[in-house]
Structure 1
């Protein structure tokens, strides 16, 4: 049995490679030949035409749109990356047995497989995928500019430094300014394909300049996408007029409709909501901050890079454009503690982990310190009823402390590595206290809840599986 496939998640980082690894190891343990193309930060392990032709089954472990034209005539099983990580053997068996598979008869859009279109969540995640590089690069460049002094980018300030000004211009005035337009354009493109890009870009730019920010960009991106999709893909025109229609009429009407809707119906109401939300968040006392922090922590650890985690982290990133920088600090603290807690627990409670788990946990130190929450996923998959509550308790602790004492971060990513950069964190000591506290709580919870597994180490296991 020869299997080929693709793995791809919206951000192209952890889930993409973890899904591929799980499918490959499981298939090999079952005696099958398999090759998975990973469409992550770059496309790797690319499938050749010959490999696709020889394959009997195609598995798409994807959370975003991928091109499927080359799989015409093949049986295709489409699942999420999370399911491929969680149930690789079942996914492979279903693909072989023809359970919920689709045969691609001709070139078609990936989102139309199985008769289903991508949902709103997928559209939002596509927008986040467009936005994230700008957020990360822009935020860290801004953070570097503050290393020269909090006002070093201002030519009128005594601490002025030209390098700081350039870093601030690139990161804040340019990359961060493109954050909302990229979000809206990505959403619109996910809905309507390439024709939706222009209207989505207009919607996002109007949202950024008009005050409705990321919320307005999300709504405007959907509007631009569906309006363009209707015009470009649903309206039938004479073939002799089609080229002119797609080139001129579609962008003209979609941009105009989106722009008018943003100006009269979307931007101002959402601006009021965002302003109210911003004022409320800025006015949170320590008690309210702790409660909000608990919610952030629980959501960050609930699915470790899945929809719930992405929702609160995207929300917190969006708040940065409104000058609210405490939630993103809490998100980072909460996102770091799951892998760190597992790594610590594997040392303190060795009898609760197999040798394979203890070896895997060593990488969690680096993953956790780098704010890559997904490092905890294999352990959560192996023992969800005990591990996930432990992770949620630790993340909630970390985020509650961070929000309660008002830690803010001017960088949206970077984990512990932003600590040496001056002025990025307003309270680096409490940031460390929050992370350490969450890590310890996670480790102690794991030690209390997990059963001893030392006696299981010598039992035979399938390759790549945690007992």
Structure 2
């Protein structure tokens, strides 16, 4: 298997996926920021026409994340005939509970299914070329991809459910431990099923037993820890630029913006470059922040973190301190792991 080609296919999906995450996430954050006076109420984020409109736009953009990821991985593999099958693979991953990882695996499956069909039909005369593009690739490709997604979802979705059960078992015992676990999970697969499980579990704690909206320590741990992940990569790249490639140095601005806006995906290029050194550092830094936020008893009333919702945090100074400490830990670990590597041009 050509890992370089696979990496390029993955990055193709990521490059089209990120704008939907950033744009949709910022719209959602603005909806809650502009509606902060209604925090802890059932109408939080939708109390008037304007914030409800922002919420709707953000939700729509975020809803296209996984279909776009699958579509452009498949497009990178099989060109335009792969778009349909990849998009449906991503949509099936979203609806089937396998989320990011399912969309990635589904995108690869869809792309290679269509690529296989292209090779099998290579002998068809050019006069019948339209049959391939209008019938064979869409219909047969879609059918085979949908069957593949049944298997993918059946394997990946139960993993997410098991993680949710594990987190529920921690919530009543040790808040700091739960905060640390949430932080580490957010960093572990950078938007994959583990990350999504931690996030969805955190969001669920914003609802009380009677269905009302409440502030949550778990959501605050999630919101602050997520900021550490991409921001730590950007800070390390700023402090030690010679240890990073020119492409990564160019990616640090986006990592700053995404990190401070709650989006862990800004760390993906850095982790992909040196996963064994960067990823453990991010997990530890995010875990430290999550534990500190929970230990301080800080709460957040919005289902998204980042500086956009800072006004909705119960103790802003300690929240920022927790963020700074976790970021410092992650950056120090990154430097420790890469300090002896040769400088890059």
Report the TM-score, using the length of structure 1 for normalisation: 0.50
228, 240, 245: which one pairs with 1:333? 228
88, 113, 116: which one pairs with 1:202? 88
Higher helix share: 2
Equivalent residue number for residue 139 of structure 2: 252
Deviations 1:44-72 (A, max 9, x none): xxxxxxxxxxxxxxxxxxxxxxxxxxxxx
321, 325, 328: which one pairs with 1:433? 321
**Distance of 2:152 and 2:3 partners within structure 1:** 25
**Distance of 1:234 and 1:262 partners within structure 2:** 22
**Contact persistence 1:183–1:204 (CA under 8 A):** yes
Equivalent residue number for residue 130 of structure 2: 243
Deviations 1:114-134 (A, max 9, x none): x96854333332222221111
- Residue 226 of structure 1 deviates from its aligned partner by 1.1
**Contact persistence 2:289–2:325 (CA under 8 A):** no
**Aligned CA distance change for structure 1 residues 437 and 340 (closer, same or farther; 3 Å):** same
4+ runs deviating over 6 angstroms = 150-153, 364-367, 391-394, 442-449
**Distance of 1:429 and 1:231 partners within structure 2:** 58
113, 117, 125: which one pairs with 1:231? 117
**Contact persistence 1:419–1:428 (CA under 8 A):** no
Equivalent residue number for residue 247 of structure 2: none
**Aligned CA distance change for structure 1 residues 329 and 319 (closer, same or farther; 3 Å):** farther
**Aligned CA distance change for structure 1 residues 247 and 396 (closer, same or farther; 3 Å):** closer
**Contact persistence 1:333–1:434 (CA under 8 A):** no
**Aligned CA distance change for structure 1 residues 446 and 257 (closer, same or farther; 3 Å):** closer
**Distance of 1:208 and 1:317 partners within structure 2:** 14
**Aligned CA distance change for structure 1 residues 203 and 292 (closer, same or farther; 3 Å):** same
RCO comparison, higher one (Cα < 8 Å, 6+) = 2
Between the two proteins, the alignment pairs up a number of residues equal to: 294
- Residue 225 of structure 1 deviates from its aligned partner by 1.2
1:312 and 2:190 aligned: yes
1:274 and 2:160 aligned: yes
Equivalent residue number for residue 418 of structure 1: 308
**Distance of 1:393 and 1:199 partners within structure 2:** 35
Deviations 1:248-271 (A, max 9, x none): 1111100111123324x2334432
1:121 and 2:15 aligned: no
Higher strand share: 1
For structure 1, the 5+ residue unaligned runs are 1-114, 300-310, 347-352, 354-363, 378-383, 452-463
- Residue 332 of structure 1 deviates from its aligned partner by 2.0
For structure 2, the 5+ residue unaligned runs are 204-220, 242-251, 261-265
- Residue 184 of structure 1 deviates from its aligned partner by 1.3
**Contact persistence 2:74–2:85 (CA under 8 A):** yes
280, 284, 290: which one pairs with 1:403? 290
User: Partner of 1:160: helix, strand, or coil?
Assistant: coil
